[in-house]
């Protein structure tokens, strides 16, 4: 059983991760690189990097009473320094992105195959596809309603708080969806809807002020592109996980 779950997940994750890396190369990555031109130009021209502490309160002149807001720098200072390693732009950067996509694919596929096994019953590529659409709802649609995809250089609330909300929202969406799909009783369906809605009623952490250096057209394009790419990824991953899970049924050891 271990071999079946992990084997199917690794196979599906590797194939889907490689395929989505090729798609990203023509969709999201060019927009990220484009946005970074504005991000770097913006921070370096307007305020010297060294002048911005990790969080800073700026006073905007001319508004009568002084008006302070907090800026969380898009990239923390160390990243632009010499001590922190990062892949070189070009092939190296693309290879690291592909590696990340494959690992992400394996991670999600492990959750899918675990779900196949717990749910039981015959699993095919088509059933896997349905689970994949569920994954898309849990890991893309739910969290993105509160925290839309960000281009580099967009303004946002503090990282830790956003990450906490993101994970909480994904968990709530997953639990709520399971109650709705498998509960099959009206009270459980209503409870599922309420659990899915809860993180959005609480509200995602938002920045105190908006107006990052990246043009809204680019940010909007990126948000749409990343949701479309995530949909393609989940459809592939779901179908592949189901297909490999079915094919590895002999490996019960």
Partner 1 sequence: MNDRIQATTADHLETESRTRVLAASVAAALFGGFLFLGIGFAHSDTIHNATHDARHAFALPCH
Angle at 46 between CA 159 and CA 207, to 5 degrees: 25
* Residue whose C-alpha is closest to residue 246's, from 103, 77, 116, 68: 116
Nearer to partner 1, 226 or 243 (CB): 226
- Answer for which of 14, 19, 29, 125 binds partner 1 (CB under 8 A) is 29
How far is residue 121's CA from residue 116's CA, in Å, rounded to a whole number? 8
Nearer to partner 1, 41 or 167 (CB): 167
88 binds partner 1 (CB under 8 A): no
How far is residue 170's CA from residue 144's CA, in Å, rounded to a whole number? 10
- Answer for which of 109, 172, 214, 236 binds partner 1 (CB under 8 A) is 109
User: Rounded to the nearest whole angstrom, what is the least distance from the CB of residue 136 to partner 1 in the complex?
Assistant: 11
Query: Hey, which residues between 122 and 141 contact partner 1 (CB under 8 A)?
Result: 139-140
The sign of the CA dihedral 137, 141, 146, 150 is positive
- Answer for which of 133, 227, 232, 251 binds partner 1 (CB under 8 A) is 227
In sequence order, what DSSP letters do the residues of 199-253 get, joined into one string?
HHHH-----SS---SS-HHHHHHHHHHHHHHHHHHHHHHHHHHHHHHHHGGG---
228 binds partner 1 (CB under 8 A): no
Nearer to partner 1, 14 or 193 (CB): 14
Which part of the chain contacts partner 1 (CB under 8 A), choosing from 50-58, 111-119, 195-203, 213-221?
111-119
28 binds partner 1 (CB under 8 A): yes
Residues, the chain: 253
């Amino acid at each position: 059983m271990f071999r079946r779950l992990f084997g199917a997940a690794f196979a599906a994750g590797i194939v889907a991760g490689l395929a989505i890396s090729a798609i990203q190369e023509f969709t999201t990555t060019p927009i990220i690189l484009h946005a970074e031109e504005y991000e770097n130009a913006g921070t370096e021209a307007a305020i010297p990097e060294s002048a911005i502490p990790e969080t800073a309160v700026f006073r905007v002149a001319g508004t009568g009473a002084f008006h302070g807001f907090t800026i969380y720098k898009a990239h923390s200072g160390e990243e632009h320094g010499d001590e922190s390693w990062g892949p070189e732009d070009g092939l190296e950067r693309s290879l690291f992105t592909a590696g990340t996509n494959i690992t992400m694919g394996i991670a999600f596929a492990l959750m899918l195959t675990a779900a196949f096994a717990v749910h039981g019953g015959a699993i095919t590529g088509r059933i896997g596809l349905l689970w994949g659409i569920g994954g898309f709802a849990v890991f893309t649609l739910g969290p993105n309603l509160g925290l839309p995809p960000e281009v580099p250089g967009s303004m946002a609330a503090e990282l830790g708080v956003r990450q906490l909300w993101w994970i909480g929202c994904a968990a709530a969406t997953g639990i709520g969806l399971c109650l709705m799909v498998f509960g099959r009783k009206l009270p459980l369906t209503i409870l599922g809807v309420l659990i899915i809605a809860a993180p959005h009623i609480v509200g995602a952490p938002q920045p105190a002020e908006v107006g990052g250096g990246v043009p809204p057209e680019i940010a909007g394009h990126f948000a749409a592109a990343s949701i479309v790419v995530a949909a393609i990824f989940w459809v592939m991953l779901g179908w592949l996980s189901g297909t490999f899970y079915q094919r590895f049924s002999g490996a019960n050891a």
